[in-house]
Amino acid sequence: MVTTTWAPVPFGSGFGVDNLPYGVFRPVAGAARVGVRIGDHVLDLAAALRDEVFAAPSLNGFLARGRAAWRATRAEIVALLTDPAREAANAAHLYALAEVALQLPFEVADYVDFYASEHHATNLGRLFRPDSDALLPNWKHLPVGYHGRAGTVVASGTPVVRPCGQRKAPSDDTPTFGPSVRLDIEAELGFVVGAPSALGSTVGTGDFADHVFGVCVVNDWSARDIQAWEYVPLGPFLGKSFATSISHWITPLEAVEAARVATPTQSPEPLPHLRDTERWGLDIDLEVELCGTVVSRPPYAQMYWSPAQMLAHMTSNGASLRTGDLFASGTVSGPEPGQRGSFIELTWNGAEPLRLPDGAERTFLEDGDVVTLRATAPGPNGTRLALGEVTATIAAARA
C-alpha cells in the first residue's frame, strides 16, 4: 500500500511521503532555511517542527546530530504529513517550489571523487591504452579516487564556465593555453557525510550508515584536454576542479532501502577491511539529457565498488571524516553503448559523434549546451523515488 499524505502530491511525482529529501530554500520574503520536498512543495522544517537547527541556510547542523536523530526526525516528518488532523496547523508551512529559490543544500567540507565503474574504467583503458590491459593492476584491489576542490562544488542551475588551461595534443610540439575544447560530463551519485570520525581512526564498511546521511546526483565536469596533459604522474587537478554540480535535494539513506542490492561479483575478493557484507550496492537508474534529448541511461547497479567500500578505503589510513564531506562514485557506465555516463565514452573519444534530433552533432560540449542528469530509485510498495536532477548551461570561457 502506498503511504498517503494530506500534502498535495501529483500522481507519479516521485516525491511522495516515502521520499522526503532535504534541501535549502529561500522564500520570497525571509531567510534561507532547511526544508523537505513533498510533491511540488517544500515543507519549512523550522516552522513545522519548531527546531532552530532547520532555520540555518545549510543542513550541516542537522547532519552533525547523527543517525539516531536523522531517523527520529524522518519519523516525525512522516507522522506530521500523514496525519489529517495536523493539516490545518501545518499547511501554511508548505511553499510551492515555483515560489522559492533553491540553494546549495550543505556546506561542503571535503570532496573526494572515485572511479568505481568497471565499465567506465575499462572503456577509458581501451581508449588510451589499446595495447595494454584496460584496467591498471590496482583497480580491482581498491576503489581508486582523488581529492577534489570543495570550494567549486555548486548547486544545480549554476552556469558552468568553460575552463581555460594548458593542453598539448599528441600532434603538437609544445603546449598551449586557452579554453578547453573537450569539455565533458561525468554522471555520478554523491554521498553526503553527516557524523564525523576522529583523526587516526577508521570507518568500516559496516559503519557506513552511521556516518553517511544521504545521496545526491552529481555532475563532475571534466576538461579532457587539460586533464590528459596534466594528470601524469599525480592525477586529476585543473581539468576537474573548475566545477562539480550537485542536485538541490539530499535523499536520506533510509529512503533508498528498497534500492539496496549486492555489487557485481568482486574477483579477486577484496582484502578484509574492504569486504561489504551489508550489500550497499544501489539499484538506481540515471539519465543524461543533452539539449532536451536523452542520450544515455547509466545503471548504478553495475558499479563494481559500493559506497560503503569507498568510505572504508577513504578512512583506512586514519583520515578523518567531517560533517559535510562529499564523496562521489565516479562516472556511472553500464555495459551497453547507451549506458555510458560521459561523452568521451558515448562518442568514443570523438570518433563517433552524437547526432541530435535537429541534425546537430556533438563530440564534446559547446557553449550554450544544457546538460541535465536525473536519477530514480525503487521505493517501498512498488513506488519509484526521484532523487532530483542536476542541470547546468555551458557558458563561454572568460578572458
List the catalytic residues.
120
**Dihedral sign for Cα atoms in the order 39, 23, 373, 301:** negative
Alpha carbons 366 and 355: distance in angstroms, whole number:
14
C-alpha cell at 152: 567549486
C-alpha cell at 367: 557553449
C-alpha cell at 246: 550537485
| Contact (Cβ atoms closer than 8 angstroms) between residue 364 and residue 181 | yes
| Contact (Cβ atoms closer than 8 angstroms) between residue 226 and residue 163 | yes
C-alpha cell at 59: 543542513
Determine if the peptide bond prior to 268 is cis (ω within 30°). yes
In 3D space, the residue among 336, 293, 340 whose CA is nearest the CA of residue 185 turns out to be: 340
| Contact (Cβ atoms closer than 8 angstroms) between residue 313 and residue 203 | no
The length of the chain, given as a count of residues: 399
Q: Which residues are annotated as a binding site?
A: 113, 115, 129, 186, 188, 220, 227, 231, 240, 244, 331
Alpha carbons 373 and 353: distance in angstroms, whole number:
20
Q: Which residue carries 554521498 as its cell?
A: 191
C-alpha cell at 395: 557558458
Alpha carbons 260 and 257: distance in angstroms, whole number:
6
